[in-house]
Structure 1
Amino acid sequence: MTITRWDPFRDVIALQNRMNSLFQDYTRGQGETEGVAATAFVPPVDIYEDEHKIVLKLEVPGMKQEDLDIRLENNTLTIRGERKFEKEEKEENFHRIERRYGSFYRAFTVPNTVNTEGVQAAYDAGVLRIELAKRAEAKPKQIKIAVNGSKEIESKPAA
């Protein structure tokens, strides 16, 4: 059995941290023009890889294709865009605006194994999908092993 020291202020400090984060969320955007929060809009991204390609998925709901700019230069993939706050002609009484607006910029270093000519982008249902094809020489190869000069055994790549 381990003995732990009781700290009477541990719960108070945890409560204070929660209250601070609550007030930071509330005061963010106060004093901004048109009630739109000026905090940075950074779309979340998922990146995964298989033996043939590297795939990036960015969540950019409510954006149009023409508002997105994707470039690949000097082994750097850059994605820029802007989600605009569309104010309607009639005056709206917003109670809360939680969606982020504004321009964003994301940059990713691309490995040398990527074929820069084999880049494809698709936009569907608010998700931007970018596929970076790998070069043929970068793909894993299976090597056959000869045992005592007789029959060959195929080796499987290590997982």
Structure 2
Amino acid sequence: MRELDDLFNQYGRMLGRSATPSAAGRDSNSAEWRPVANISETAGHYLIKAELSEVARKDIDVSVHEGVITIRGERRLENRSGAEKHHRIESFYGTFTRSFTLPADVDETKIEAESKDGALTVRLPKTEVRKPRPIAVQVR
């Protein structure tokens, strides 16, 4: 098991980053981390689903500015008693930020976000698409 872990960590170092959370977690319980996010689309809206297990709703901030939606937050390391000894912590703790450029057809005034069961779901409704119609211009 240790050899496989070392192989992943060596691979990550070759790429200039940690291949597993444990590589950063060995030296520190806190790090800037990046939650996984999936973006999908239906006829009426876009959805952003971010995995935010162990992140309290009060520690999540969602904002929109100049066509960019930003999700910020913090996963806090729970207070641990001296009776519990951890051999390995693979979860990242600390602050995070994810930003996504919004498509032009998003109605920024109707965006909704819900945090439930360790996931954040942001619903981005589309604006009504105006159908092109011919306009007659009088020639003088």
TM-score clears 0.5: yes
Corresponding residue pairs, total = 120
Q: 2:11 maps to which residue?
A: 21
* Mapping of residues 25-64 of structure 1, within 5 Å: 27-32=23-28, 36-38=29-31, 40-64=32-56
CA contact (8 A) 2:25 2:92 kept: no
Larger radius of gyration: 1
Give 1:84's aligned amino acid: R
TM-score (norm 1): 0.66
Amino acid at match of 2:87: H
Per-residue deviation, residues 46-102 of structure 1 (Å, max 9, x unmatched):
100111000000000111111000001110000000001112243431111011111
The reply to whether residue 95 of structure 1 matches residue 87 of structure 2 is yes
Following superposition of structure 1 onto structure 2, how do residues 1-159 of structure 1 map, counting pairs within 5 Å? 20-21=10-11, 27-32=23-28, 36-38=29-31, 40-137=32-129
* Larger CA deviation: 18-27 vs 79-88: 18-27
Q: Which runs of no fewer than 5 residues in structure 1 stay unpaired?
A: 1-16, 142-159
Aligned-CA RMSD value: 2.6
Distance 2:12 2:41 in 1: 37
Q: Which runs of 5+ in 2 are unaligned?
A: 1-6, 132-140
Q: Determine helix, strand or coil for the equivalent of 2:111.
A: strand
Moved more, 124-133 or 18-27: 18-27
Question: What is the aligned-residue identity percentage?
Answer: 29
